Amino acid sequence: MAEFRGPVHLAASEVERAVPSGTSGAFALGYARPQEGAVFISYVGRADTDLRAAVLSHVGGRYTACFYLPLASPAEAYAEECRLWHEMGGEDLDSGDHPVPPGDHACPVCE
């Protein structure tokens, strides 16, 4: 997930400063582990229309860190969400079931 940006601390002020609104995108949420210099990813999601709003909806929840990637369309966001979902553990993630496509698109990993 080299091209993803972050980690950003999952607090409203930091998300509003870093994550763009009004765009599709994919994101990953998890827990920062400073001693290991790592973030443990537990949740993968996407936004079809507003990446910032989608990330903000998780502020105050169980996660402390976010990676994000703005993308040009819901189809691109879905493809990236799928790659990350498979790479980060698939059904073992908190986000559980395989991502559902926005319309008639196939997962780039499964197909």
> Is position 110 an interface residue for Zn ion (rule: CB under 5 A)?
yes
Cα dist from 55 to 22, 47, 52, whole Å:
12, 8, 5
> Is position 1 an interface residue for Zn ion (rule: CB under 5 A)?
no
Task: Give the contacts of 71 (CB within 8 A, at least 6 positions apart).
Answer: 23, 24, 25, 26, 77, 80
Q: What is the per-residue binding string for Zn ion in 50-89, x denoting contact by CB under 5 A?
A: --------------------------------x-------
> Is position 109 an interface residue for Zn ion (rule: CB under 5 A)?
yes
Query: Using CB under 5 A as the criterion, which residues of the chain lie in contact with Zn ion when the complex forms?
Result: 82, 107, 109-110
